[in-house]
Amino acid sequence: MFKKFLFSFLFSLCFLGLTTSGAFAQTATNIPRSQIDREIRKEILSLPYYGVFDAIGYKLDDGSVSLNGYVTRPYTKREAEEYIKDIDGVTAVENNIKVLPVYSSDNRIRVKVYRAIANQPGLYRYLLGSAPSIRIIVNHGYVSLEGFVTFESDKTLAGIAAREIFGVINVENNLKVDKTGDMMPL
């Protein structure tokens, strides 16, 4: 009798354990990709010290996130990985963000390019707020403009303004044109 009771008790315990173990496991497939994208974007934009001279992008592939881009501070790179790791649905984070070297000449170029773009009629609006839509990356005198603008003429003006700065070797204008205004800065 006791053996029968023990057997049924253990059997029900095993059955209960098998049925509830799946209820507590959170998988990447349970969360919509659009929700994970929104959370990643929100976390990147909320990074402390993430500013106009930093540009972080990401690629989401079945719960695995690959971070890329450039930042001016090493702890921004670390915090980006930490923030993304804690998002529900993210299973792995590969951090390929590069920390830009600290050169006084690059810092001067950053500030001058920022001012040159801000002084162009109509372009200052792209540099306002906590999430500017134009990002300025400077590495050894090479300038890369990242982000988006509303008009093709704004893209051209920003590129011209950056090229006119003394010390700039080359400008790679990667600004995208979004006439709808639907694109969110990152």
Question: Tens digit of pLDDT for each residue in 9-52?
Answer: 444 544 444 444 444 444 445 789 889 999 999 999 999 999 99
- What integer pLDDT is reported at residue 182 of this predicted model? 56
- Whether 28 contacts 90, CB under 8 Å: yes
Q: How far apart are CA 175 and CA 120, in angstroms?
A: 16
Looking at the domain 104-177, which fold is it? Histidine-containing Protein; Chain: A; (3.30.1340)
Residue span(s) of the chain under CATH 3.30.1340.30 come to: 28-99
SS3 178: coil
- What integer pLDDT is reported at residue 30 of this predicted model? 79
What pLDDT, in 10s, does the model give residues 143-162?
Answer: 999 999 999 999 999 999 99
Q: How far apart are CA 186 and CA 76, in angstroms?
A: 14
pLDDT higher than threshold 80 for residue 8: no
* Structure tokens belonging to residue 115: 């001012």
pLDDT higher than threshold 70 for residue 175: yes
- Whether 53 contacts 117, CB under 8 Å: no
SS3 113: helix
Q: How many CA atoms lie within 13 A of 86 on its CB side?
A: 7
**Sequence-distant (≥ 6) Cβ neighbours of residue 143 within 8 angstroms:** 109, 113, 136, 137, 162, 165, 168, 170, 171, 172
What pLDDT, in 10s, does the model give residues 112-139?
Answer: 999 999 999 899 999 988 889 999 999 9
- What integer pLDDT is reported at residue 6 of this predicted model? 43
What is the CATH code of the structural domain delimited by 28-99?
3.30.1340.30
Average pLDDT, the chain: 86
Instruction: State the distance between the two ends of the chain, measured CA to CA, in whole angstroms.
Output: 68
Residue position matching structure tokens 């719960």: 63
Strand partners, 148: 176
Residue position matching structure tokens 């590069």: 98
